[in-house]
Amino acid sequence: MALVLMIVGDEILSGKRQDKHLSKVRELLQARGIELAEVRIVGDDEERIAQTVAQLQARGDTVLSCGGIGATPDDRTRQAVARAFGVPVLRHAEGEALIVNEYAEKAFPNRVLMADFPAGAALIPNPVNRVAGFSLNGVYCVPGFPEMAWPMLEWVLDTQLQHLHRATPPVEYSLRITGTSSEGDLLHLMEQVLRDFPGVSLSSLPGRGDASRPRHIEFGIKGPAEIAAPAFLWFREQLRIGYPVQIEDLKAP
């Protein structure tokens, strides 16, 4: 099961607003030893949101969704999630009571629309204005406003997704080399480290170089510390003894 972040909003796709959720969600996840597998950015289109949710659910993913649960016509996330799961949108009695308690007569006729959720949804508490988010079948939906979304996501991670927490998260070690013409010269070495150290992943990021730095390649080896550390040391040693390159450790065991 993988964890996916879905960011909803035409304003993100159009560039009218810059996304702030990805960096914060990564921070929240890293503090709990959780890895983010994927990010989806979807506009305010009910069909596309529904298709995205259905696809991720069919894969068995857990989804954190930010945006699109307000009461205006362009907020379609609640309807889309209901559509993805084939259930109606219904007024949630507890969600309505929270809104009425917060806003009294001003809750009607519009604010209470934000208590309409897919049938069977559970509430995600909102510490800012008590207008709840919702969850259904591993899809956790919060508003797009960061000041509301982030504490609500923390609540989700610490109460609903505790089973994903890891005391010893994966680590990544990295180095930079100069002196080789291309990544292609090292393909067999990259393949060998993945073959000989199952459980690690490898990244390779070439840099074309400029006046301040020559052409270079940055390598990262990531995985459980007990596997990633020896894999990195082996990889670095093979570079040292087998290739005319200069090695700079960026993060080493």
Structure tokens that stand for 222 in this block: 């990531």
63-to-148, 156, 233 alpha-carbon distances in Å: 17, 11, 36
Provide CATH 3.40.980.10 ranges for the chain: 3-164
pLDDT of residue 211: 66
Neighbouring-strand partners of residue 249: 175
Residue 212 phi/psi, 5° resolution?
-95, -15
Consecutive H or E run containing 248: strand 246-251
Using CA atoms, how far apart are residues 164 and 2, in angstroms rounded to an integer? 10
> What is the predicted pLDDT for the residue at 167?
86
pLDDT, tens digit (0-9, with 9 covering 90-100), for 46-70? 999 999 999 999 999 999 999 999 9
Task: Decide if 24 contacts 7 (C-beta within 8 A).
Answer: no
- CATH number 1.20.1270.360 is the correct assignment for the domain at 171-251: no
pLDDT (0 to 100) of residue 56: 98
Alpha helices in the chain (DSSP H): 10-14, 21-30, 46-58, 77-85, 93-103, 146-155, 187-196, 225-242
pLDDT at 169: 85
Stated pTM of the model: 0.84
d(CA 36, CA 29): 7
| Phi-psi map region of 86: left, alpha, beta (phi>0 left; psi -120 to 50 alpha) | left
Residue in this structure with the two tokens 């008590």, named with its chain if needed = 130
Residue among 154, 118, 150 nearest 137 (CA) = 118
Question: What are 205-230's pLDDT values in tens digits?
Answer: 998 777 677 889 999 999 999 999 99
Domain(s) of CATH 3.30.70.600: residues in the chain: 171-251
Hey, what are 136's tokens? 């259904």
Domain covering 3-164, topology: Molybdenum Cofactor Biosythetic Enzyme; Chain A (3.40.980)
Residues in the chain predicted with pLDDT less than 50, given as ranges, are: none
Per-residue CA distances from 70 to 19, 118, 128, 131 (Å): 18, 14, 14, 9
Q: From residue 174, give the alpha-carbon distance in Å to each of 28, 160, 216.
A: 23, 34, 13
pLDDT (0 to 100) of residue 181: 60
User: CA-based Rg of the chain, rounded to a whole angstrom?
Assistant: 23
Tokens 């993913």 found at:
61
How distant is the alpha carbon of residue 104 from its chain centre?
A: 36
The SS3 assignment for 176 reads: strand
